Amino acid sequence: MSTRTSMLSLTDLQPVIDAVGSCDDSLLSAVLERYKQELTDYYDGDEPEADELEEFEEYAESMINCDPAPDAEPGAWNYVIQTLADHFDLNPEPLPLDDWKHFYVWEDYRNLLDPLISADARQLLALLENGRALKGTSIDGDGCVFAWLSPLEVVTLHDALSPIEVTEEMQKRGLDEFHRELLECLDATRKQNAVLFLAAH
């Protein structure tokens, strides 16, 4: 599966969490308009295809207008979350972890580090691998995943991973650069006292 992992830092996540199931028509309209403008800018002023807008609208409606909020949240909500982060001025900043195959690298990395870190750190890595819902209990396995860590959890994971040196086994498995990039992401987010947001699609 070619699903790729990327990360952002956000100043807060609570406005996004509050949007789930809010049934706020004005918010939905604003998010749909913002996404349309983002696509138009991406295509250098050309109108986006109708099917691109319809797909996003479906995700946005399922997130904002859900009543009640689902226990298993669609992983494709990650697209809506990123647009909401812009809408709410949560200062989303791209972090230097990109173009890794999500369903390969996280499992391999976590299995390698499991014996070396605490139970709390193992749980946080598992959240980044398997996803973490906003209000529900799990992520629906639809080929996309999103997850997040609070500022305190970012510090916990950073402190657990930073003493770990790149080993020969990491290099053999091609995980040495992933380890370095993940630490850079955690360190940058920790210094900002921010939320770490992961999207895989």
**Strand, coil or helix: 122:** helix
* Cα 146 from Cα 134, distance rounded (Å): 9
* Cα 174 from Cα 21, distance rounded (Å): 41
Mean pLDDT of 49-65: 92
Which pLDDT belongs to residue 60? 97
Query: Chain-centre distance of CA 56, in angstroms?
Result: 17
Which pLDDT belongs to residue 143? 86
Chain segment 19-29, per-residue pLDDT in tens: 999 999 999 99
pLDDT-derived band of residue 153, with 50, 70 and 90 as boundaries?
A: very high
Across 155-159, 163-167, 169-173, which has the greatest mean pLDDT? Answer: 155-159
Question: Over 90: is that where the pLDDT of 155 sits?
Answer: yes
Structure tokens at 148: 């997040």
Annotated domain spans of the chain = 4-11+94-200, 14-92
Chain segment 96-138, per-residue pLDDT in tens: 997 899 988 999 999 999 999 999 999 999 999 999 999 999 9
Strand partners, 145: 200
Q: Which residues contact 148 (CB under 8 A, 6 or more apart)?
A: 13, 132, 134, 195, 196, 197, 198
State which amino acid sits at residue 94.
Answer: P
Which pLDDT belongs to residue 190? 98
Question: Over 70: is that where the pLDDT of 1 sits?
Answer: no
* Cα 179 from Cα 164, distance rounded (Å): 9
Which pLDDT belongs to residue 191? 98
